[in-house]
Structure 1
Amino acid sequence: MSGRLTARVRVQRPGLTVAAELVAEPGEIVAVMGPSGAGKSTVLEAIAGLVRLDAGSIRVDGDEVASPRHRVAPQRHGIVLLRQDPGLFPHLSTRENVAFGLRSRGAPARGSRLVADEWLERVGLAGVGGQHPRELSGGQQQRVALARALAARPRVILLDEPFTALDPATAASLRTMLGEQLRAARTTAVLVSHDALDAAVVADRLVVLEAGAVTQSGSVRDVLRTPATAFGAAIAGVNRVVGSVIGRGDGAVWRAGALAVARPGAEPASVAALFRPGDVRLEGVVAAGHATLGAAPEGSRVIWHARVARLEPTVGGVRMLVADPSLAVDIPVDLAADLRAGAHVRLTLPNAAITWGSPEPETAAG
């Protein structure tokens, strides 16, 4: 049992107006990402009926469950909210926790226990039905909470950063399991997260929310490949450099600081260049005072000089941050050994590695 969710949310908060539209088709998993304070949790709470709307409406399969003048009781609208805290009842066994939603709707005790055991097995916790929450690890408790939510067969399930409090290994295991179980149950879901890996593994679609508004929405692949904002680029791990196309015809060149790229046929406009830090190659250190080498021919590579702003260690090497324009370059540890902040370096980038995008996003429907 899954429903089509249509959420048109407008909520006035101190210092922030959340005005966002989000649609999830039956069985679709939509991830919502955004910086702290963007209004992500407010959107979830409004959908769950825990925050009153100032304008807009929440509908599931066309049925209005919330508006400024109307609100269906949360226990009746078929929407379940799962937070970071599993919220298990400490005095109930694991089996009783999972069966709680069914029993509260009048389901027979024996049938509820059988369903609870089935869901515990599906989330990898077969045989722990008689244990209490205090006997389980944090990851196990989160699995129980998910089993409880799905056992109730909600029309929509909302997940508010369910992996944040877990260690990386446990989070990775739960992430995979969550995607598998949501798809097996064909449950419509909205997942709020700060980790792009959650979206990549679990979700069908990604919505980016910034300052209370949707700035980008699309397939996870498309949003992460061509982010529309600086925040989107940060979560996708790509450089997003905004520059201008100067000139026309065969002489058109896109320029941002010392970085210049030939763009034959492009019209003068502000354009964003998107490319991965690993696509930029460090060719060597150069003497201070050298400026750009200009644009390379179309289809070849871009060559320019940049000043090192700082160096940051990463799992696989070193991330070099350069200025004018500001961007990141991933380099091996051995190449970073003789580099210092303030050094001037020669960089190259294949033209084929660059994707072109709009400089500023329009407010998008989710």
Structure 2
Amino acid sequence: MSGRLTVRVRVQRPGLTVSADLAVEPGEVVAVMGPSGAGKSTLLEAIAGLVPLDAGSIRVDDDEVASPRRRVAPQRRGIVLLRQDPGLFPHLSARENVAFGLRSRGESARRARAEADDWLDRVGLAGIGGRHPRELSGGQQQRIALARALAARPRVVLLDEPFTALDPATAASLRTMLADQLRAARTTAVLVSHDALDAAAVADRLIVLEAGAVTQSGSVREVLHAPATAFGAALAGVNRVVGSVTGHGDEAVWRAGHLSVARPGADPGSVAALFRPGDVRLEAPGASAGSGVVWPASVVRLEPTVGAVRMVVADPPLVVDIPVERAADVRPGDHVQLALPTAAITWA
């Protein structure tokens, strides 16, 4: 039976202190995202019981499973942790791998195998119950691992980058299957991922973890629509440029580096401008601002993207998506002129 997960923890690791609070309601899926080294895996390991707490507590419903003075064994928490490695038993068939958790809970061999076949069918692997892990693809092994976890009816499922080692097509298929099965089973889950698509497709809420601390939390839509940090903006695929409003009334202007935008009536202070890389245009010198703003920038580097080129510029730092054919016109160190419609800017 899925449970309510309440986490208020501090874990000290070499060079990093993870201090995070989160609550996951029964049947809810929460995604945790952050840059490498932010403490995401440490947070999952603490919940799973693999690392001790320095402060705080972890509860599933009313049961305290961890605190500095109490540490329930991982296998007794009703919590399952799935990693990139499916962790299947190589000597057992797919059916017996799924049945393992059921047998450990006291189910008869016959009933466990029948339920295992049912779960293999649910994850799209009907008819392969007799095959061993070495005979299966990475995607099939991940499906079996998920079936094994859900068949045991855990109170909480933790998923640590489950799709990272898979090719894009397999990952897309598994993402859809995971969302369907977690919701069908009403499973409480925490998903750590580096891909915003995982959060958008699977999760109800998104938590951003940076340098061991939660920097933003809300619905997936809220966080991606109004990112509070540069990392969140990168997840959402937007530029987040922090500047300051100076002046008053009709004279108020927001500035960041060489970029300035008239903001009549805005209050003075620090404000972030949000806009998409594709809304910025590379213009010829002397072009008119029209209904937007123009400013000079220096090119830092060029990066390939799907069907385009991303140009990283300075003063202020941001990224611009340009067509592949325009990439031949610019080089790192060049000075260019950029334009942006003011209607494309969201203020935060």
Q: Structure 1 222/100 Cα, relative in aligned 2: closer, same or farther at 3 Å?
A: same
Deviation at 1:254, TM superposition (A): 0.4
Deviation at 1:182, TM superposition (A): 0.5
Secondary structure of the structure 1 residue equivalent to 2:284: strand
Deviation at 1:137, TM superposition (A): 0.8
What pairs with 1:35-46 in structure 2 (closer than 5 Å)? 35-46=35-46
What pairs with 1:355-366 in structure 2 (closer than 5 Å)? 355-357=346-348
Distance (whole Å) between structure 2 residues aligned to residue 175 and residue 272 of structure 1? 33
Task: Compute the RMSD of aligned alpha carbons.
Answer: 1.6
Deviation at 1:185, TM superposition (A): 0.7
1:343 aligns with 2:334: yes
| Aligned-partner residue type, residue 352 of structure 1 | A
- Shifted more, 156-165 versus 314-323: the winner is 314-323
1:161 aligns with 2:188: no
Residue in 1 that maps onto 2:221: 221
Distance (whole Å) between structure 2 residues aligned to residue 77 and residue 238 of structure 1? 40
Residue in 1 that maps onto 2:292: 301
Secondary structure of the structure 2 residue equivalent to 1:337: helix
Distance (whole Å) between structure 1 residues aligned to residue 330 and residue 55 of structure 2? 55
| Aligned-partner residue type, residue 39 of structure 2 | G
Distance (whole Å) between structure 1 residues aligned to residue 314 and residue 154 of structure 2? 50
Secondary structure of the structure 2 residue equivalent to 1:181: helix
Distance (whole Å) between structure 1 residues aligned to residue 217 and residue 186 of structure 2? 21
Deviation at 1:340, TM superposition (A): 2.4
Residue in 1 that maps onto 2:26: 26
Distance (whole Å) between structure 2 residues aligned to residue 214 and residue 59 of structure 1? 19
Q: Is the 8 A contact 1:178 1:202 kept in 2?
A: yes
Q: Is the 8 A contact 1:29 1:203 kept in 2?
A: yes
**Aligned residues, how many?**
348
Distance (whole Å) between structure 2 residues aligned to residue 139 and residue 180 of structure 1? 16
Residue in 1 that maps onto 2:320: 329
Residue in 1 that maps onto 2:247: 247
What pairs with 1:98-117 in structure 2 (closer than 5 Å)? 98-117=98-117
Distance (whole Å) between structure 2 residues aligned to residue 223 and residue 272 of structure 1? 15
Distance (whole Å) between structure 1 residues aligned to residue 150 and residue 271 of structure 2? 45
Q: Return 5+ residue gaps in structure 1 as ranges.
A: 288-292, 358-366
| Aligned-partner residue type, residue 158 of structure 1 | L
Deviation at 1:197, TM superposition (A): 1.4
| Aligned-partner residue type, residue 264 of structure 2 | P
TM-score under structure 2 length normalisation: 0.96
Q: Once the two structures are aligned, what percentage of the paired residues are identical?
A: 82
Distance (whole Å) between structure 2 residues aligned to residue 301 and residue 79 of structure 1? 53
How far does the alpha carbon of each residue in 1:2-39 deviate from its partner, in whole angstroms, 9 at most, with x for none? 11111111111111111111111111111111111111
Secondary structure of the structure 1 residue equivalent to 2:250: helix
Q: After TM superposition, where is structure 1 displaced by more than 4 Å over at least 4 residues in a row?
A: none
Distance (whole Å) between structure 2 residues aligned to residue 39 and residue 234 of structure 1? 18
Secondary structure of the structure 2 residue equivalent to 1:254: strand
1:82 aligns with 2:73: no
1:119 aligns with 2:119: yes
Distance (whole Å) between structure 2 residues aligned to residue 18 and residue 345 of structure 1? 42
Q: Is the 8 A contact 1:161 1:193 kept in 2?
A: yes
| Aligned-partner residue type, residue 118 of structure 1 | D
Residue in 2 that maps onto 1:52: 52
Distance (whole Å) between structure 1 residues aligned to residue 301 and residue 46 of structure 2? 42
Distance (whole Å) between structure 2 residues aligned to residue 332 and residue 157 of structure 1? 43
Residue in 2 that maps onto 1:361: none
Match of 2:302 among 308, 311, 323: 311
Residue in 1 that maps onto 2:12: 12
Distance (whole Å) between structure 2 residues aligned to residue 311 and residue 12 of structure 1? 38
Residue in 2 that maps onto 1:203: 203
Distance (whole Å) between structure 1 residues aligned to residue 130 and residue 285 of structure 2? 65
| Aligned-partner residue type, residue 330 of structure 1 | D
Distance (whole Å) between structure 1 residues aligned to residue 69 and residue 279 of structure 2? 53
| Aligned-partner residue type, residue 91 of structure 1 | H
Deviation at 1:336, TM superposition (A): 2.6
Deviation at 1:247, TM superposition (A): 0.4
Secondary structure of the structure 1 residue equivalent to 2:117: helix
How far does the alpha carbon of each residue in 1:282-333 deviate from its partner, in whole angstroms, 9 at most, with x for none? 222469xxxxx9xx79xx4222222222222221111122221111111112
Q: Is the 8 A contact 1:8 1:20 kept in 2?
A: yes
| Aligned-partner residue type, residue 302 of structure 1 | V
Q: Is the 8 A contact 1:254 1:263 kept in 2?
A: yes
How far does the alpha carbon of each residue in 1:180-205 deviate from its partner, in whole angstroms, 9 at most, with x for none? 11011110100011111111111111
Secondary structure of the structure 1 residue equivalent to 2:143: helix
Residue in 2 that maps onto 1:170: 170
How far does the alpha carbon of each residue in 1:200-258 deviate from its partner, in whole angstroms, 9 at most, with x for none? 11111111111110011111111112211111122222111111001011111100011
Distance (whole Å) between structure 1 residues aligned to residue 309 and residue 298 of structure 2? 16
Distance (whole Å) between structure 2 residues aligned to residue 339 and residue 18 of structure 1? 42
Q: Is the 8 A contact 1:285 1:344 kept in 2?
A: no
Secondary structure of the structure 2 residue equivalent to 1:47: helix
